[in-house]
Structure 1
Amino acid sequence: MTGTGDAGQAVVERRFGPWEARDVDREVLLTDGLGGFSLGSLAGVPTRCYGALNASRRPPVDRFAHLVAPLEELSAAGGGEVALHALEVAPDAFEGRGLDLLAGVTLRDLLPEREQLWRGVRVTRRAFMPPGSGTVVYLYDIEAREAVTLTLGGFFVDRDMHDLHRGVPDLRVQVQGRRAAVTGGRGTRVRVVAPDAAVQPLEAAPFPQRVYYRYDRARGEPDTETVLGARLWQVQVPAGGARVALVVSAGLEGPDVLDPWAAYAQETARRRALVEGAWAASGVRDEVVATLAVAADAYLVQRAQPPGRSVIAGYPWFADWGRDAMISLTGLTLLTGRAADARSLLGTFLQALRRGLTPNNFHEDGGGAGYNTVDGALWLVVALERYVALTGDLGFAREALPQVRELLRWHLDGTDHGIRADREDGLLWSGEAGVQLTWMDVKIHDWVVTPRSGKPVEIQALWLGALAAEERLSEGLGQVPACSAALARARGQFGKLWRGEQFADFLTEAGGADLSVRPNVALALALPDTPVSGVQLDLTLRLIESQLLTPVGLHTLSPLDARYLGNYGGVRVQRDAAYHQGTVWAWPLASYVDLLLRGGEVARARAALSGLSGHLWEAGVGHVSEVFSGDSLRPGGCPFQAWSVAEFLRAHVLVAQAESRAGAAGPGPT
């Protein structure tokens, strides 16, 4: 539900009862705006090797794990003690009673508040990451009639976030007063803050602790490691209760979060401002926009080199990807009132152009970028025009237009990976043996699973969109367009992709047509410069609905195709083989909604989004998953995916605006 906070600002609140909160498959994401993040189950159980604190050394990449989970134990003066944390040590077997003691979990602006009850003692824990900090903070509020003792510490690692310790971590723990240091690698510093209670440092020896990661097992990856547990402090909580903070930071040096409670208040105010900004920018004031506006913030990060804003494609394992960033730009920034971020994001990828191509992805190790994408640069031009159209920022358009023209010139004359305009028909050819270039980009060793060398349908639509954008931007600045002839030629030849009663997925070099039924045709026809007749649009919609449409997205290959793979799961080679061969993706559903709205089918468009509205609270809470298994629709891939969130938000806003217009027009004649 959406309500108002103390200052009258919007607040998104979702309450999970004791049973729901025990669901370890529901995950919560916290981020710091630099690529660092923390994730775990609603109640804080580690679910993956990507645990409770991963921090970037070269923002937003080169990320290392420091903490798997906080250690939390409670003891009563009259005897008895209990572990408030819970670690899965084998499938459905837990160390600690953290799940048993749950009274519930509340998400406020997607910040988790865990409530536990033991022998009349109520412990509420809030968690957050201050922006730009490389730090995760846990705030404890203890309510107790009698004095109790809260023991705090952590389960520590020091490794690449994608890896696991093969033995006991070689770490040393030193406690001095209310500060502790965990050394042996990059280092972790820990601090306890307890203004209302006495704190006793502990000298207990660290101990090895087995941890099992259920989602790593599901992905066929190594799933068990040994971490280092350490009890660091005992906090003597007086009768009546107290508040306590545990602050865990990556590295042994850096600025402290001086007042954790003030920092939390600042973060909640910032998140509520995000909601207000999205409501104002979109004109749609509802819970979905509010939730997705806060979710969108997680993906926008500050890049150190090249400097500027960027987009983490998905958590927990993706870095920032160019194609994903440009597709996501509208939803993440323009519809959330973050025009400055949009401009900076465009600038980041304009700086990184090479021979007319944007980076497909920046490498996680911080060592450069890959440029194997044919659509990234074209999406960049489309996104740039959307930004200028919404903001009226002609100054930025004037700065960027020479780079747009150079980008298009590379495509006209030919650039890497066989990307070039066909001299005969003006359509855009792309393809190189062993290289994956479109968004259907899986490659297993030397096997490109969905080879689409030739003239893919969505690439032709993007080509037309980019050429048309150059023309409109030029005219808007009073300049002579540079690519009008190329636009007219290619537009006149787009019809070559229509074969009988459907568009080809791609044309081959020999002039043949691949008639696989895939969602790429929806992406193509949703772009405004794609020439399509009413009959073609109607037949395409019928094809999508009969073979691709599901409640949460579009199949990547028709289930009627002999190559269809309905299960997304298992080891990596199995997952990758199914990734674009029937697995359902959420983000193309927005293009299907675009097509429905073009035909005035507002009710059908709203119905198409109902599944994703419910999915918001199924997996990565408040976010949208990357993919779903083709047959079962079980969420898979990244539980937190940028373009899934962004495109759902874009589609939802478009439908809500159409509903508002229809309501304003009143009922038709009877």
Structure 2
Amino acid sequence: MLDLDTREWVLTNGLGSFASGTVSDVRTRTYHGWLFAATNPPSGRTLLFSHLEASLEVLGSVVALGTNFWGNGQIEPTGYQLLRSFDISPVPKWTWGQDNWQLTRQLVMPYGLVGTEDWGLVTEDWGQGGISNVPSPMPNTSLREGAPTTSLSTSAQSPMPNAPIQFCHRILIHYRYEGSHTAILRLRLLIAERDFHHQQTAGPKLQFSQMLGQQQVCLQAINSGRFGIPWHLRWTQGNYQPDAVWYWHYGLPEETKRGLGDKEDLYSPGYLIVTLQPGDAVTLEARVGFPDLMLSVITDKTFAEAVEAEQDRLSQIFGWGERGRNQLKIQNSKFKIKELLPPAHSPLWEQLLKASDQFIVYRASIAGPTVIAGYHWFNDWGRDTLIALPGLALVPQRFDLAKGVLRTFGHYCRYGLIPNAFPDVNGEPIYNSIDAALWWIETLGLYLEATQDWNFLAEQFPVVQQIYKAFVGGTHFNIQVDATDGLVSWDARGVALTWMDVVIGLHPVTPRYGKPVEINALWYSALCWLSQWAERLSQLEFGEPARLTKQAQRYAQQAEHVKTSLQKFWNPQLGYLYDTIEPDDRRNFQIRPNAVLALSLHHCGFSEQQGCQILDLATASLLTPYGLRSLDPGDPEYKGKYQGNQEQRDRAYHQGTVWAWLIGPYIRAWQRFYPQRSLPFDWQPLRDHFLFDACLGSISEIFDGDLPHTPRGAIAQAWSVAEVIRHIK
């Protein structure tokens, strides 16, 4: 593996579908493949199309271009040795070659929300629209291996009547050949139907049907008599040969490292033979659903048009080019923002914004936008979404997106809590977070500061008051304001409600029962916001001015009470904040980044002297080139490497592991308490990581606490990217 480039790439479609792999084109994870379709956006992600195994014949000599790990440890074939270059921009592009030929391959995953513009520019009507009907299964045909293939003309897929929104999950693959002689390209299909967390295993209950049409084949799994998801592959030229065979025991070494299932069986229904003259190209499209008579025929221009369409979509969102700048002027006018145009952009800035867009997805169960926490394996999480929203939406001026997400989460507020996760199908959201509601208030405040959208404040103020009343009066998990000091406390065994939320069995690794410091800093900031908002609404004559003025005064008094009580967290011997005040009033004196979080909020309840001392110790103990450690290396519980099986990794997750997103709170705190001093942080390592390491064009979730700070966890994390966008220059 020493000369294999296993850095990764990811493509997304705005619905939760994705494609991913490595630079050397070898699959190392369960999550590598060319079409993971989010059948219930953004969830239900199912691997349908793994990849094409390519070989090229020139002058009678055949070379295999693919690279595979096998379960016995072998690497076969070794196409990576012919790989001449790889480029990630604007889409992934591989170039293989020898002296007398060169073959390039490019992939693009078109935006999948069809029938509407990007919600960040045009629509606030989240609840409108419908989706395509799920097509019925293919006729049951003979499915034994190598059985004759049924012929297929085309079968139209009919959308719901008057449905303005449809979901489209597809990927386009484009090959171009250059050389001095005619070449024959063979492309063998490798397919699956399995949940994206699990590997596929061949067996008599799992079979695949294929039906041929004109330059297309329609494929569908049948598992224990259950019809799977139909999808089809189309191509611009070539002859398809049915040749059904299983390939057993692909190896997945990254899963071996993580102590998870690490072998996969893939099915091949056949292969495509394409004769290529020098300069010739072939384009293929894999698309979920049956072939549709209404679809335009793919041509040699289809791929370039898809790349251009995606570039145009991004330019409209982020203000690149004249059309995009005009869109932002309309947006700014709508929110009464004077001539607020995007900052001078550089290639790095454009790539960061492009990376940010990969996390914005449509959730069908709420008919609105949400944020995927990270790729490959995360869904959307309330806390992560709200922390990431300023960087993903406010800085890029996607104000309608921010408004839509805030409105959705506000709509689902229950018992004064904001959901930390939404169900994929029927069912209630999951309310297992103490801080999501407080982050919702904090992010709402940042949105209002940016937009002055006081009508939206009037709309959401009842939700704000619901949260306030629930925290004061008590709600689930024994969350309640302590009447003696005004601080928020909680006590519920077997759960972990803060962002340090790992639970192994029924035992939280970092339980943080009682009064966590950042929770009470958020509570203080929330009370300050409430006082400001009540006063603002009274002046604008939303509601009853006299009553709102009294509320503003009461919130301000409570905020002062809480500010005084926050001094309970001050540890004068250490010059730092206690991490928690436990239910029995003991103090937890571990040096964690939650003290820095407490300094970084819009309203801060700590003095300048305290802030400087906290930052000095955090800089010495927690700061790394990639973010903040979650625990001081001198602590007996510190774990410097995030590796091993699931339990070992979980025990290290918040016990020293570096979190990239925490660099944002650190910078905000530094700018508050050391405004005249240069930031003791060099952006270059994080820039290099974004451009050249791990997942090219994104930022990892976490890094080892110990040198060399190896990137770990999810290869692309929303709040990591978002916090860099908020502060990088």
Q: Tell me the TM-score normalised to structure 2 length.
A: 0.82
Q: Which residue matches 1:647?
A: 723
1:610 partner amino acid? Q
- 1:86 corresponds to which of 47, 52, 67: 67
Moved more, 477-486 or 518-527: 477-486
In 2, distance between residues paired with 1:402 and 1:369? 20
Q: Which residue matches 2:218?
A: 181
- 1:156 corresponds to which of 173, 182, 191: 191
Shift of 1:24: 3.5
- 2:558 corresponds to which of 482, 486, 489: 486
Measured at CA, do residues 44 and 63 of structure 1 come closer, stay the same or move farther in structure 2, by a change above 3 Å?
same
- 1:574 corresponds to which of 644, 648, 651: 648
Match runs of 1:220-235 below 5 Å: 220-235=259-274
Shift of 1:257: 7.2
In 2, distance between residues paired with 1:31 and 1:355? 35
Q: Is the 8 A contact 2:410 2:463 kept in 1?
A: yes
Shift of 1:40: 0.6
In 1, distance between residues paired with 2:319 and 2:594? 34
1:646 partner amino acid? A
Shift of 1:204: 2.1
1:88 partner amino acid? F
Q: Which residue matches 2:639?
A: 565
Equivalent position SS for 1:127: strand
Equivalent position SS for 1:166: coil
- 1:264 corresponds to which of 307, 319, 330: 307
In 1, distance between residues paired with 2:307 and 2:343? 28
Alignment deviations for residues 525-567 of structure 1 (CA, whole Å, 9 cap, x no partner) = 1113122222211210111012111111111111111111112
Measured at CA, do residues 226 and 296 of structure 1 come closer, stay the same or move farther in structure 2, by a change above 3 Å?
same
Measured at CA, do residues 30 and 302 of structure 1 come closer, stay the same or move farther in structure 2, by a change above 3 Å?
same
Match runs of 1:369-408 below 5 Å: 369-408=429-468
Q: Is the 8 A contact 1:323 1:376 kept in 2?
A: yes
In 1, distance between residues paired with 2:526 and 2:53? 53
Q: Is the 8 A contact 1:281 1:334 kept in 2?
A: no
Match runs of 1:89-488 below 5 Å: 89-90=70-71, 93-109=74-90, 111-132=91-112, 133-168=168-203, 169-185=206-222, 186-194=228-236, 198-237=237-276, 239-252=277-290, 258-259=297-298, 260-261=302-303, 262-274=305-317, 276=319, 283-363=343-423, 368-477=428-537, 478=539, 480=548, 482=551, 483-488=555-560
Q: Which residue matches 1:75?
A: 57
Alignment deviations for residues 562-581 of structure 1 (CA, whole Å, 9 cap, x no partner) = 11111210100000001011
Shift of 1:334: 1.0
Alignment deviations for residues 355-412 of structure 1 (CA, whole Å, 9 cap, x no partner) = 1111112346775532110111111111111112112222222211111111221111
Moved more, 543-552 or 22-31: 22-31
Alignment deviations for residues 603-631 of structure 1 (CA, whole Å, 9 cap, x no partner) = 74273433211211210111111111121
Q: Which residue matches 2:147?
A: none
Q: Is the 8 A contact 2:86 2:92 kept in 1?
A: yes
1:486 partner amino acid? Q
Q: Is the 8 A contact 2:365 2:424 kept in 1?
A: no
Q: Is the 8 A contact 2:243 2:268 kept in 1?
A: no
Shift of 1:462: 0.8
Q: Which residue matches 1:668?
A: none
Q: Which residue matches 1:496?
A: 568
Shift of 1:289: 2.0
In 2, distance between residues paired with 1:317 and 1:64? 12
Alignment deviations for residues 22-57 of structure 1 (CA, whole Å, 9 cap, x no partner) = 744311010010011111112432221112221112
Shift of 1:165: 1.7
2:311 partner amino acid? T
In 1, distance between residues paired with 2:647 and 2:39? 30
1:190 partner amino acid? H
Q: Which residue matches 1:4?
A: none
Q: Is the 8 A contact 1:452 1:506 kept in 2?
A: yes
Q: Tell me the TM-score normalised to structure 1 length.
A: 0.89
In 2, distance between residues paired with 1:551 and 1:364? 37
Measured at CA, do residues 534 and 218 of structure 1 come closer, stay the same or move farther in structure 2, by a change above 3 Å?
same
In 2, distance between residues paired with 1:51 and 1:286? 31
Moved more, 362-371 or 275-284: 275-284
In 2, distance between residues paired with 1:336 and 1:431? 39
Alignment deviations for residues 100-148 of structure 1 (CA, whole Å, 9 cap, x no partner) = 1111111214x21111114522211111111112112111122233221
Q: Which residue matches 1:14?
A: none
Equivalent position SS for 1:463: helix
In 1, distance between residues paired with 2:72 and 2:375? 23
Q: Which residue matches 1:66?
A: 48
Which consecutive unaligned segments of at least 5 residues does structure 1 have? 1-18, 657-670
Measured at CA, do residues 105 and 157 of structure 1 come closer, stay the same or move farther in structure 2, by a change above 3 Å?
same
Measured at CA, do residues 527 and 91 of structure 1 come closer, stay the same or move farther in structure 2, by a change above 3 Å?
farther
Q: Which residue matches 1:537?
A: 611
Instruction: Tell me the percent identity.
Output: 31
Alignment deviations for residues 298-325 of structure 1 (CA, whole Å, 9 cap, x no partner) = 1000111212110000111110000000
Q: Is the 8 A contact 1:177 1:201 kept in 2?
A: no
Equivalent position SS for 1:35: coil
Which consecutive unaligned segments of at least 5 residues does structure 2 have? 113-167, 223-227, 326-339, 540-544
In 1, distance between residues paired with 2:526 and 2:189? 52
Measured at CA, do residues 332 and 539 of structure 1 come closer, stay the same or move farther in structure 2, by a change above 3 Å?
same
- 1:589 corresponds to which of 663, 685, 696: 663
- 1:35 corresponds to which of 9, 13, 16: 16
